[in-house]
Amino acid sequence: MRFLCLDIGERRIGVASGESCLGITTPLETIRRRSLPQDCAAIQRLFAEQEAEALVVGLPVSLDGALHQQGRRVQQEGEKLGEALGMSVIFWDERFSTVIAEERLRESPTAVRRKTSLDAAAAAVILESYFAAQQDTAKPAYTQDS
């Protein structure tokens, strides 16, 4: 199954895609936030281009496991995007995704660093984590119903 993953920030949305049966993810691009309709149009375009079937949104869960202000904001925005796009959203814990993405980009060749934004790389890390956890069902997903 093909997935699209979003790392939603206040100014940008990092986007990655991946194939769950292979567990492979690819950072795609970073969308500059404008308005909900413009953000949805950009995401819908990528969803169609990637032939994605499911949407994962990184959820900023705090180190104590709770959802604080930023986490609730991202959850609300993810739900709005899902409603506007007519699809359900899988929320996934994004703890340390930016740190891991920074480290990977730092270790990658210069050409790769120039082409890959940190936000898109973080979205790829989130999606990798989601795929890995599907092999280990002990880790709960944060869904819209949670």
- 47-57: pLDDT as tens digits: 999 999 999 99
Q: Label the pairing between strands 54-59 and 2-8.
A: parallel
DSSP 52: -
Alpha helix positions (H), 1-146: 36-49, 69-85, 97-107, 110-115, 118-135
CATH topology of domain 2-143: Nucleotidyltransferase; domain 5 (3.30.420)
pLDDT band for position 32 (cuts 50, 70, 90)? very high
| Domain limits, the chain | 2-143
Strand pairing category for 24-32 and 89-93: unpaired
Element (H, E) at 13: strand 12-19
Tens of pLDDT, residue by residue over 68-117, are 899 999 999 999 988 988 888 999 999 888 888 888 888 877 655 555 68
- Residues 53-63, mean pLDDT to the nearest whole number: 92
